[in-house]
Amino acid sequence: MHNLKNAYPEKLKIGAAIKTGGCFFDSLAQGLNELNIKPGHRFTAKSLREDCADYARANRKPDQWVYNAVIRDAGEYFVPQKDPDVGVISENGLNKQDKTKSFFKYLEYITNTHTADAPIWGRPHIEGRMICDKYEFDIIYYYF
């Protein structure tokens, strides 16, 4: 730990975060609380997930970066297009995405932390950017 602390800036705080798929949101909430970004408000992993859902909902037009990023990186919330007569529509051996349904499934899954389905892990380039835009700050990443 001593070597790790010596390798990074003096102001860097090394902490611990929950391990249940919410570590990104938990560590970000801890940092925002410490920085007092929004006086009188206590950030939590849950509140940041809800912020992301609200931000995505407010910026859901197909020409918005949020919509495109969420659709492009769909993963576990991917919904295939279906035709009532033939079922799932495929193109070149891959299921075609129903972008609207995938987006709305994202809105459901991003706040999903209390069911059998694994929650969406926070992605710096999507959820991180939403939170930075909403609260007007920058995230600096240290990889080790």
Residue 63 · residue 51 · CB < 8 Å: no
- Over pLDDT 70: what percentage of the chain? 85
Q: Delimit the domains of the chain by residue range.
A: 50-135
At residue 47, does pLDDT exceed 80? Answer: yes
Q: What is the pLDDT of residue 115?
A: 62
How many other C-beta atoms can be found within 10 angstroms of the C-beta atom of residue 92?
A: 5
Q: What is the pLDDT of residue 144?
A: 62
Q: Is pLDDT larger for residue 99 or for residue 142?
A: 99
Residue 107 · residue 57 · CB < 8 Å: yes
Task: Please state the rounded mean pLDDT for residues 125-142.
Answer: 91
- Rounded to an integer, what distance in angstroms lies between the CA atom of residue 69 and that of residue 64? 9
Q: The whole model's pTM is what?
A: 0.84
Q: What is the pLDDT of residues 59-104, one digit of tens each?
A: 999 999 999 999 999 888 888 888 766 677 777 778 889 999 999 9
Residue 81 · residue 97 · CB < 8 Å: yes
Q: What is the pLDDT of residues 111-121, one digit of tens each?
A: 886 666 667 88
- Rounded to an integer, what distance in angstroms lies between the CA atom of residue 102 and that of residue 121? 16
At residue 1, does pLDDT exceed 90? Answer: no
Closest CA to 75 of 100, 97, 57: 97
Helix H or strand E segment including 26 = helix 23-35
Q: What is the pLDDT of residue 68?
A: 95
